[in-house]
Amino acid sequence: MKVAVVGATGMVGEVMLKVLEERNFPFTELMLVASERSVGKEIKFKNKTYKVIGLADAVANKPDVALFSAGGDTSLEWAPKFAEAGTTVIDNSSAWRMDTTKKLIVPEINADQLTKADKIIANPNCSTIQLVMTLAPLHKKYGIKRIIVSTYQSITGTGLKAVKQLENELAGVKGEMAYPYPIHKNAIPHCDVFEENGYTKEEMKLVRETQKILDDRSIAVTATAVRIPTEGGHSESVNIEFENDFDVTDIRKLLSQTPGVVVQDNTDVNTYPMPIYANGKDDVFVGRIRRDGSQPNSLNLWIVSDNLRKGAATNTIQIAEYLVAHNLI
């Protein structure tokens, strides 16, 4: 098993290496790949030092699987070249997610769609993964009509440049800006670029990807995505209207029995999910579970998950593990 990590020098790439090591992902050869800027740079992994290589060298080495987190443009150009060389690409960018010929996978929900023929597999957006992990069992049982989601997203979701921006602001140093405004002491209602409809691309990812993963275009989704100066995970306030009525106790029970979901919900002792708890963990944490009394069959909840782990690296590696376990690569 030859594994390439494309974008190995980035925020997701770094966590990808950590998760590969923690889960003891089986490989005989590891290629660490990044832009020409980083070629030759040394990275330590499992007590061995690896030199970063460029994309062309990695394709020539014909890896069995390539875990991509190097931005959409790199994926659009290079994922097909890897696929042509026989590599299975699992891509973290938004490049392929809505391509009708590509699968958009959260292993707990729809990995059974995967076949040997899938050479480019899309990993969903971080804020979508934690949302659908929570929605999938609820949709199955009660039928979701409409979702209103507001996100409070970590700066780590933007990448290294954003983390550097906050560090500079905290140190009072002028530097390169990842956002159009300061992020320290701020909340910016603008994640990714604006689309023609007035929503951001991040907000539309929540709409389109949720419908694709839950395989139901009839679910109405509306979203507002906000960047806040936190690390450790994205948070989401979610209002759900169901087709059928529910009992809040049953919802809590159902979610606590869902693999990958942890219910943190005891307001008597101030227990609810927060990025400081989710940081570095693979689970999706759900709390503040309560009926919305303003209309029938409606529920409010609060979801937090580490965007670099389940929102990116862990989900990608779980897909790779599924492919290996089912002999699909």
Ligand X SMILES: NC(=O)c1ccc[n+]([C@@H]2O[C@H](COP(=O)([O-])OP(=O)(O)OC[C@H]3O[C@@H](n4cnc5c(N)ncnc54)[C@H](OP(=O)(O)O)[C@@H]3O)[C@@H](O)[C@H]2O)c1
- Name the segment binding ligand X (CB under 6 A); options: 17-25, 151-159, 278-286, 293-301: 151-159
- C-alpha span between 139 and 176 (Å, rounded): 43
Give the distance, in angstroms, between the CA of residue 128 and the centroid of all CA atoms in the same chain: 7
Q: Is residue 70 close enough to count as binding ligand X by CB under 6 A?
A: yes
Q: Which is nearer to ligand X, 55 or 206 (CB)?
A: 55
Q: Which of 159, 188, 224, 231 is the binder for ligand X (CB under 6 A)?
A: 159
Grouping H, G, I as helix, E, B as strand and the rest as coil, residue 129 is helix
The minimum distance between CB 308 and ligand X, in angstroms, equals 5
Binding mask 14-53 for ligand X (x = CB under 6 A): --------------------xx-xx---------------
Q: Is residue 165 close enough to count as binding ligand X by CB under 6 A?
A: no
On the CB side of 183, CA atoms within 13 Å amount to 29
Pairing of strands 144-153, 234-242: antiparallel
Position with the least CB separation from ligand X: 10
Cβ contact 290:300 at 8 Å: yes
The minimum distance between CB 293 and ligand X, in angstroms, equals 35
Which of positions 294-313 make contact with ligand X (CB under 6 A)? Answer: 307-308, 311-312
- Name the segment binding ligand X (CB under 6 A); options: 7-15, 223-231, 245-253, 279-287: 7-15
234 is catalytic: yes
Q: Which is nearer to ligand X, 192 or 265 (CB)?
A: 192
The DSSP result for 186-241, as a single string, is --BS--S-B-TTSSBHHHHHHHHHHHHHTT-TT-EEEEEEEE-S--S-EEEEEEEE
Q: Which residues are annotated as a binding site for phosphate?
A: 97
CB atoms within 10 A of CB 117: 6
Cβ contact 11:47 at 8 Å: no
Q: Is residue 13 close enough to count as binding ligand X by CB under 6 A?
A: yes
Q: Is residue 71 close enough to count as binding ligand X by CB under 6 A?
A: yes
Q: Which residues are annotated as a binding site for NADP(+)?
A: 9-12, 37-38, 307
The minimum distance between CB 74 and ligand X, in angstroms, equals 4
Virtual torsion, Cα 91, 218, 262, 162, nearest 10 deg: 40
191 is catalytic: no
The minimum distance between CB 285 and ligand X, in angstroms, equals 16
- C-alpha span between 138 and 154 (Å, rounded): 26
The minimum distance between CB 38 and ligand X, in angstroms, equals 3
Q: Which of 63, 107, 137, 157 is the binder for ligand X (CB under 6 A)?
A: 157
Q: Which is nearer to ligand X, 129 or 144 (CB)?
A: 129
Cβ contact 265:288 at 8 Å: yes
- C-alpha span between 78 and 100 (Å, rounded): 19
Q: Is residue 93 close enough to count as binding ligand X by CB under 6 A?
A: yes
Catalytic residue ranges: 126, 234
